[in-house]
Structure 1
Amino acid sequence: MNLQKTAGIAALCEALIYVTTFALYGTVLAMPGGLNAAQKLTFLAEHQSLLFFSNLLAYVIFGVLLAVLVLALHERLKNAAGTLTQLASIFGVLWIGLVIASGMLANIGLNAVLKLNLTEPEQTRALWLSVTTVIEALGGGNEIVGGLWVLLISCAGLKAEILPKALHYIGIAVGVAGIATCYPAAGLTEIFGISQILWFGFLGVALLRQRQD
């Protein structure tokens, strides 16, 4: 199986990861409202294994699959849209690093918080706030870098006239949505995530169907 076909499978897996993550946080991992700090920590402790799996899937595995996709699209578009593709790939590689780092920090931070809560519960809230703030800053709460990659690679695709134009127009909209998450408004991150399900799915099918030039 060549790189382009592998990337097509990776893109479909990325879409599936988004769906799975939304499903988990909309059901089992949805923290009830009105909990105090102690009750929130109890909830985290009770769901630690599932949270670990969710972070591993949504960040680390997502980042590994993203690396395949960034490389494949770079190889696919570099000859027809060199400058745009190179610029997009810079942001793609940066996004990979941020996503994987977020996942590792989330899991290590959660474990550290729950251990600290057993001995120094008064310090736990400050540590958890610090961990979540860093995760949000790296990419959990904003998607600027990912949005730039999707936007630029879609523009490169339009210039190169490779892969369906509709895919690239959707990608431009997705990229703009990702960049818009720099504004602290509720729902923007979710809009980016939901729109990426469509884009990754479309991209995966396109890569699997189209022959490599």
Structure 2
Amino acid sequence: MNKLQKAGGVTALLEACIYISAFVFFGVFWSFPTGADAGQQFTFLAENQIIFSVVNFIMYVLFGIFLAVVVLAVYERLKLSSPTLSKVSAIFGIIWVGLVIASGMIANIGLSAVLKLSENDPEQALIIWRTISYVVEGIGGGNEIVGGLWVLILSIAALKGKVFHKTLNILGVFVGVVGILTVYPAEIFTELFGIAQILWFFGVGITMLLKRESFHKQ
């Protein structure tokens, strides 16, 4: 088995696991006091800075590093059957890698900075923290247009070249369309994109770990 394809399969499965871990963490364990005053909010952030920073690193930076491997592996798989579409999809994939990693770095550096500022001016620190949060959401958290375009275009290329199973490619088209729809600020689209992409990453990961002959099975 091609080592890049195997690495792409493993990292695709890890991407799905990171998505699931993020949903569990923020849905079950993270209880940010949104209704509290600035001082209480920063006390909570200070007490949970390490775990929050680690989660941000895994959810954005590590996710982006794994994503780079997946983007390259999928491109290698598609480039012979759909040379043009595979190149276009890879461009959006690499852009998404950069945006996701940048989001994580901005979030962690920003958190450290506002915690220091909050010691003297919690109200101003809260304004800056909200601004940082909007930036993170805009480039890599709540806006999934670039990631959606990557999945949509590569899925169309895979359908055209009969690469991967047809069902997986149709799911990819759905994921891509939903990702593009996140341009509209509705939380349902972001959540639906995440859930659907968990399934898609699992499908891609399992498929890429199979023998080469299985990639063209419809």
Flag structure 2 segments of 5+ consecutive residues without an equivalent. Answer: none
Does structure 1 retain, via aligned residues, the 8 Å contact 2:38–2:122? no
Flag structure 1 segments of 5+ consecutive residues without an equivalent. Answer: none
1:30 is matched with which residue? 31
Q: How does 1:1-213 map to 2 (within 5 A)?
A: 2-211=3-212
**Helix, strand or coil for the counterpart of 1:113?**
helix
Output the TM-score relative to the length of structure 2. 0.94
CA displacement 1:58-90 (0-9 Å, x = unmatched)? 100000000000001111101110111111011
CA displacement 1:111-147 (0-9 Å, x = unmatched)? 1010111122232122112211211111212100000
**Helix, strand or coil for the counterpart of 2:184?**
coil
Does structure 2 retain, via aligned residues, the 8 Å contact 1:24–1:30? no
Does structure 2 retain, via aligned residues, the 8 Å contact 1:163–1:210? no
Does structure 2 retain, via aligned residues, the 8 Å contact 1:77–1:85? yes
Does structure 2 retain, via aligned residues, the 8 Å contact 1:21–1:58? yes
RMSD after superposition: 1.4
Output the TM-score relative to the length of structure 1. 0.96
- Matched residue count: 213
Does structure 2 retain, via aligned residues, the 8 Å contact 1:29–1:47? no
How far is 1:91 from its partner? 0.3
How far is 1:37 from its partner? 2.4
Does structure 2 retain, via aligned residues, the 8 Å contact 1:78–1:85? yes
CA distance in 1, matches of 2:203, 2:107: 30
**Helix, strand or coil for the counterpart of 1:27?**
helix
Does structure 2 retain, via aligned residues, the 8 Å contact 1:4–1:72? yes
